[in-house]
């Protein structure tokens, strides 16, 4: 079992870190033992798992790149793992594009992954340490976007992931309420209250008051005020001196905090320091009741966070530095996202309020190839922040962590419910060439969610569903990690089944050499991976052994031998026999026994290795073998002792529950019988134990599958709900859009109708005017030949009076015919408009009716009938025009009577029987056909009415 010989071929270097037992832990049983290194100078690489309280289970031995024991510090981890080479890889000190790096932690929930990767309140984690080295190494080569806005644009242009880039100052200003950024400035001394972590409810002011000095420090609910100036690393929760600050000061601080509370609960002094910030607190509160992985309606997006009070400075790594490319200039771009329920969510983009549900939601992002990245997939559409200093980067990290989903479970009070990705892109281009393209490599730091057993974690509902998803994705990760042991799979990425879920895609898709042959893209080096597996030697044996089984570089299984039970029983029986038998009998018996004993009790050494990388059932053939072997023995030398054998001795008839002392005989024969019975019993026990174990394993597997299936079902249901919601939203938006379009169309058609109506009436008026002119001519023409000089009351229509000659009658008839024709045409037009109207939807018809230019069928109003035209503009108009024509005619006549001398009102009375007309007209003197009409007929004038029959004919039946 040599991990080192293979490790060069693995996609990951795998390290194991053991966490110290929690203080006050009551479980003393340690199931994990670190093997001594082969040479004294070396570091341990192997561990052995001894199943607690179960001698029948296999003893497993695992190999890692290196094992870090409980006393290992963060600095030991940083130096002992290959984090520094990862940093060097992305910096590409010797030119070129560099190598992507991946640093991940894996382990059972609560085993210390977050502690390792993000540190604690007093200790920096590997992320902070890597960032520290990174920024110090490129101190003289880093560009500052604040000094040159063009830099941001050029970095944005070179980004292949369709990201939304912004400078840290802009991001932090909108994120932290009291952000002072790199400009410095004063920090508000907002106090922070530390509280027990299991309580997610903020205490009221009165609660705080009741726990203020005097109740410090040992009350579990005690509060602790921490000022910004405090160095968090120096805080010891239980050592806060009471009455350190005046009560009033504390109260005012607490009241001030009610606007932006900074409450944290820490019964454990080892809690990650981020948990003490307001961000972490609201993270807890926010994620306490996650619904569908989204923010609930009552929850608001991240805005105006309180900046962390202090960042820990320990361990100090100022002496550690990596080299960078002196001919290059660098920019650091940071992005953060999480994989939650197999979907990717940006942690730096605040959730947006959904129009439909009024809830704050985050849109899942795609992991895909883009135009600028055709050969490899990238998370598209992330928000990325250009950070020119370590401080900016740490503040961005804190902001992102605030968004990450965590929840309190039975196994860990602040348990990560998603796989968190912190990506540091190191952009690089030749120094002084502002037009040069930025190349880049990425160091991805991943804090995986921990595997957990629902029974231990006591999760339910959404948290249980999350756990199912977490376990499922970790199972796929396990499969990939097991496959990576096969060196041949390196060049054949398809052999590693990394496309089964988002997590493995994100972790493994850059692990293989680029297959792109395009010149423009260039070949990328496969990423370097460091996996730190964390384990609690006093924790859950089953969960730990499962994680170790698939993450270890090599495994060896040692199976204990079941016949040892038989040997134990026999040993007891022999001891009894030896103590009570006579010396002679005992002597002969002991000889015989020793022979039997040598036959049945000669078990192989306990730790004989059976196979490498074998599964738990490897011992099964062994059991079968033993069984057969012993059965053969029974059918030979001790067959007659078999309990089911009819030839068995008298003593074998005893009741199975008879007390032992009654069975005991002192003869060698009885001893043999007893031994045979015991052998059989032992074999039966072994067989049953084996069967039980197998059933247990099957049950466990099926339970795990059921939990995973249930979780899958839950998440599918959630997804279906979300999809339904999305579809509804889309339908709603589509409906709105169509409605707006239809309204526009309707308005346009209304305008068109209005125009047509106006045009129509214009034409009509024009026609009437022409007809009026004709009528004038008709009326005035007799005067030209001297006739009709006695006609005074000129008018339209028939019944002109007895004084009208035949010519006049003819012309009037022509005029009437014209009018009838016009009337006919109008009817047709109205009919057309009606048909059009009937073809429209009710919503569109109404406005047309309102227009009034289309006469409804019940509208009444007749053409040329003013008295009845109140409801019909068309009718009124026609009537008006009739009157005007009448007026024209009258005015023409009056003009004629006036001898064409001058202008003015002309009115006269006709001599005809029926002829009454009124009208006035301004007639240009000397012009017979003057049509400038100002119709305001005098009521005193007689009007020659048109025959009602004609005008009214089109009345009701038409309109
Ligand atoms: N090496 C260590 N030294 C001291 N304390 C540790 C160590 N490892 C873990 N702890 C403590 O154990 C607790 C759980 O650790 P942590 O939150 O890192 O677990 P985790 O594996 O990230 O859990 P989960 O998967 O549920 O998120 C924390 O209080 C942490 O401070």
Is the CB–ligand 1 distance for residue 114 below 6 Å? yes
For residue 463, the CA-to-ligand 1 centroid distance in Å is 19
pLDDT for the residue 786:
40
Residue 122 annotated as binding site: no
* 3-state class (DSSP) for residue 446: strand
Radius of gyration of the chain (CA): 49
Is the CB–ligand 1 distance for residue 764 below 6 Å? no
Is the CB–ligand 1 distance for residue 811 below 6 Å? no
Phi first, then psi, for residue 164 (nearest 5°) are -110, 100
**What average pLDDT does the segment 887-899 reach?**
48
pLDDT for the residue 38:
80
Task: Answer with the residue of higher pLDDT: 568 or 727.
Answer: 727
Contacts of 325 (CB under 8 A, 6+ apart): 91, 92, 93, 94, 95, 141, 428
Is the CB–ligand 1 distance for residue 112 below 6 Å? yes
Of the pLDDT bands very low, low, confident and very high (cuts 50, 70, 90), residue 444 is very high
pLDDT tens-digit profile of 651-703?
333 333 333 333 333 455 556 677 777 777 888 888 888 888 888 888 988 88
Residue 95 annotated as binding site: no
Task: Calculate the CA 572 to chain-centre distance.
Answer: 65
Residue 387 confidence (pLDDT) above 90: yes
> And the tokens for 255?
């009241």
- State ipTM: 0.98
Of the pLDDT bands very low, low, confident and very high (cuts 50, 70, 90), residue 221 is very low
pLDDT for the residue 310:
78
For residue 114, the CA-to-ligand 1 centroid distance in Å is 6
For residue 125, the CA-to-ligand 1 centroid distance in Å is 12
Contact 397, 153 (CB under 8 A): no
Residue 148 confidence (pLDDT) above 60: yes
Is the CB–ligand 1 distance for residue 412 below 6 Å? yes
Task: Answer with the residue of higher pLDDT: 803 or 90.
Answer: 90
Q: DSSP of 737-792, one letter per residue? A: HHHHHHHHHHHHHHHHHHHHHHHHHHHHHHHHHHHHHHHHHHHHHHHHTTTTTT--
Residue 797 confidence (pLDDT) above 90: no
**Which single residue is written with the structure tokens 């068109």?**
752
* 3-state class (DSSP) for residue 154: helix
Cα separation, 386 vs 384, whole angstroms:
7
Contact 385, 394 (CB under 8 A): no
pLDDT for the residue 493:
53
Is the CB–ligand 1 distance for residue 20 below 6 Å? yes
Is the CB–ligand 1 distance for residue 417 below 6 Å? no
**What average pLDDT does the segment 805-830 reach?**
85
Select from 610, 630, 612 the least CA-distant residue to 620.
610
Extract long-range pairs of 492-498: CB within 8 Å, 24+ residues apart.
496/11
Residue 114 annotated as binding site: yes
pLDDT for the residue 496:
73
pLDDT tens-digit profile of 118-143?
998 888 999 999 999 999 999 888 98
253-257, 259-263, 674-678: which has the minimum mean pLDDT?
A: 259-263
Q: Which protein residue has the closest C-alpha to ligand 1 atom 23? A: 110
Classify residue 353 by burial, with Cβ atoms within 10 Å: 0-12, 13-18, 19+. middle
| Residue whose CB lies within 8 A of the most ligand 1 atoms, among 16, 17, 18, 19, for a mutation test | 19
502-506, 513-517, 546-550, 718-722: which has the minimum mean pLDDT?
A: 513-517
Is the CB–ligand 1 distance for residue 309 below 6 Å? no
For residue 110, the CA-to-ligand 1 centroid distance in Å is 5
**What average pLDDT does the segment 474-482 reach?**
85
Task: Ligand 1, residue 111: give the atom nearest the CA.
Answer: 21
Residue 270 annotated as binding site: no
pLDDT tens-digit profile of 66-105?
999 999 999 999 999 989 999 999 998 887 778 899 999 9
How does the average pLDDT of the chain come out, rounded? 66
Q: What percent of the chain has pLDDT over 90?
A: 18
- Per-range mean pLDDT, top range of 43-57, 496-510, 916-930: 496-510
Of the pLDDT bands very low, low, confident and very high (cuts 50, 70, 90), residue 435 is confident
Is the CB–ligand 1 distance for residue 609 below 6 Å? no
Q: Which protein residue has the closest C-alpha to ligand 1 atom 15? A: 112
Select from 375, 224, 249, 373 the least CA-distant residue to 309.
224
Q: Which protein residue has the closest C-alpha to ligand 1 atom 6? A: 112
Residue 741 confidence (pLDDT) above 90: yes
pLDDT for the residue 158:
84
Say what the pTM is. 0.53
For residue 409, the CA-to-ligand 1 centroid distance in Å is 13
Of the pLDDT bands very low, low, confident and very high (cuts 50, 70, 90), residue 186 is very low
63-72, 333-342, 354-363: which has the minimum mean pLDDT?
A: 354-363
| Residue whose CB lies within 8 A of the most ligand 1 atoms, among 21, 112, 127, 477, for a mutation test | 112
Residue 112 annotated as binding site: yes
Q: Which residues of 209-225 are buried (b: 16+ CB within 10 A; e: fewer)?
A: eebbbeebbeeeebbbb
pLDDT for the residue 415:
67
**What average pLDDT does the segment 602-626 reach?**
34
């Amino acid at each position: 079992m040599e991990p080192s010989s293979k490790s060069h071929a693995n996609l990951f270097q795998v390290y194991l870190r053991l966490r110290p037992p929690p203080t006050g832990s009551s479980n003393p049983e340690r199931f994990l033992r670190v093997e001594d290194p082969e040479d004294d100078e070396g570091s341990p690489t192997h561990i052995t798992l001894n199943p607690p309280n179960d001698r029948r289970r296999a003893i497993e031995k695992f190999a890692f790149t290196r094992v870090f024991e409980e006393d290992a510090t963060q600095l030991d981890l940083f130096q002992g793992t290959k984090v520094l080479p990862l940093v060097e890889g992305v910096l590409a000190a010797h030119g070129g594009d560099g190598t992507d790096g991946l640093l991940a932690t894996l382990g059972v929930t609560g085993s210390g992954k977050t502690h390792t990767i993000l540190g604690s309140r007093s200790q920096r984690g590997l992320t902070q340490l890597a960032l520290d080295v990174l920024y110090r190494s490129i101190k003289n080569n880093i560009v500052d976007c604040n000094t040159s806005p063009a830099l941001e644009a050029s970095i944005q242009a070179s980004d292949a992931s369709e990201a939304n880039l912004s400078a840290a100052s802009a991001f932090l200003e909108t994120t932290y309420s009291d952000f002072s950024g790199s400009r410095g400035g004063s920090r508000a001394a907002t106090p922070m209250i530390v509280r027990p972590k299991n309580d997610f409810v903020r205490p009221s002011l009165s609660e705080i008051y009741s726990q203020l000095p005097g109740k410090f420090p040992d009350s579990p609910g005690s509060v602790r005020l921490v000022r910004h100036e405090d160095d968090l690393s120096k805080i010891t929760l239980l050592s806060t001196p009471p009455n350190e600050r005046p009560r009033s000061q504390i109260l005012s601080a607490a009241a001030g905090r009610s606007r932006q509370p900074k409450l944290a609960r820490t019964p454990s002094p080892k809690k990650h320091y981020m948990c003490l910030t307001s961000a972490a607190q609201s993270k807890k509160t926010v994620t306490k009741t996650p619904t569908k992985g989204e923010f609930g309606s009552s929850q608001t997006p991240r805005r105006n966070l309180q900046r962390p009070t202090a960042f820990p400075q320990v361990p100090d790594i100022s002496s550690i530095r990596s080299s960078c490319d002196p001919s290059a200039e660098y920019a650091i771009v940071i992005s953060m996202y999480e994989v939650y329920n197999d979907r990717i969510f940006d942690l730096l983009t605040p959730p947006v309020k959904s129009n439909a549900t009024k809830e704050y939601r985050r849109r899942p992002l795609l992991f895909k190839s883009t135009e600028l990245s055709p050969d490899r997939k990238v998370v598209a559409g992330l928000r990325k922040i250009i950070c020119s200093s370590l401080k900016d980067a740490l503040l961005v990290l804190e902001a992102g962590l605030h968004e990450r989903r965590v929840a309190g479970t039975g196994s860990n009070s602040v348990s990560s419910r998603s796989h968190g990705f912190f990506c540091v892109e190191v952009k690089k281009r030749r120094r002084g060439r502002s037009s040069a393209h930025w190349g880049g490599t990425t160091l991805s730091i991943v804090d995986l969610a921990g595997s957990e057993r629902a029974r231990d974690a006591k999760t339910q509902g959404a948290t249980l569903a999350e756990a199912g998803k977490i376990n499922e994705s970790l199972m796929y990760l396990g499969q990939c990690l097991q496959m990576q042991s096969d060196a041949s799979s390196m060049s054949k990425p398809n052999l590693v089944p990394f496309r089964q879920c988002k997590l493995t895609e994100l972790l493994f898709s850059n692990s293989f050499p680029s297959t792109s042959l395009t010149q423009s893209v260039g070949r990328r080096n496969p990423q370097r991976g460091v996996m730190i597996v964390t384990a609690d030697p006093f924790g859950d044996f089953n969960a730990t052994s499962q994680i170790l089984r698939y993450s270890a570089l090599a495994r060896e299984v040692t199976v204990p031998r079941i016949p040892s039970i038989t040997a134990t029983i026999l040993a007891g029986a022999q001891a009894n026999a030896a103590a009570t038998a006579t010396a002679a009998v005992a002597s002969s018996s002991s000889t015989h026994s020793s022979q039997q004993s040598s036959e049945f009790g000669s078990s192989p050494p306990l730790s004989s290795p059976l196979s490498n990388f074998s599964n738990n059932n490897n011992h099964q053939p062994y059991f079968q073998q033993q069984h057969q072997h012993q059965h053969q023995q029974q059918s030979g030398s001790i067959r007659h002792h078999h309990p089911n054998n009819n030839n068995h001795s008298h003593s074998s008839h005893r009741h199975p529950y008879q007390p032992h002392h009654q069975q005991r005989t002192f003869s060698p024969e009885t001893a043999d019988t007893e031994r045979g019975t015991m052998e059989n019993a032992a074999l039966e026990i072994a067989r049953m134990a084996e069967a039980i174990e197998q059933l247990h394993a099957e049950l466990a597997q099926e339970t795990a599958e059921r939990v995973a299936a249930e979780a899958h079902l839950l998440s599918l249901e959630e997804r279906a709900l979300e999809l339904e919601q999305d579809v509804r939203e889309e339908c709603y938006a589509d409906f709105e859009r169509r409605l707006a379009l239809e309204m526009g169309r309707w308005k346009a058609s209304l305008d068109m109708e209005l125009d047509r109506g106006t045009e129509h009436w214009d034409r009509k008026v024009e026609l009437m005017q022409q007809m009026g002119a004709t009528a004038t001519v008709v009326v005035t023409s007799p005067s030209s030949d001297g006739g009709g000089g006695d006609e005074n009351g000129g008018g339209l229509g028939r019944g002109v009076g007895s004084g009208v000659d035949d010519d006049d009658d003819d012309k009037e008839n022509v005029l009437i015919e014209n009018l009838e024709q016009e009337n006919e045409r109008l009817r047709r037009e109205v009919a057309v408009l009606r048909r059009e109207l009937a073809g429209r939807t009710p919503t569109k018809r109404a406005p047309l009716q309102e227009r009034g230019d289309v006469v409804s069928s019940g509208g009444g109003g007749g053409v040329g009938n003013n008295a009845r035209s109140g409801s019909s503009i068309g009718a009124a108009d026609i009537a008006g025009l009739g009157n005007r024509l009448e007026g024209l005619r009258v005015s023409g006549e009056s003009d004629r009577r006036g001898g064409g001398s001058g202008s003015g009102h002309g009115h006269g009375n006709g001599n005809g029987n029926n002829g009454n007309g009124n009208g006035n007209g301004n007639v240009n003197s000397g012009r017979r056909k003057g049509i400038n009409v100002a119709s305001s007929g005098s009521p005193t004038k007689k009007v020659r009415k048109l025959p009602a029959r004609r005008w009214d004919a089109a009345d009701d039946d038409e309109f």
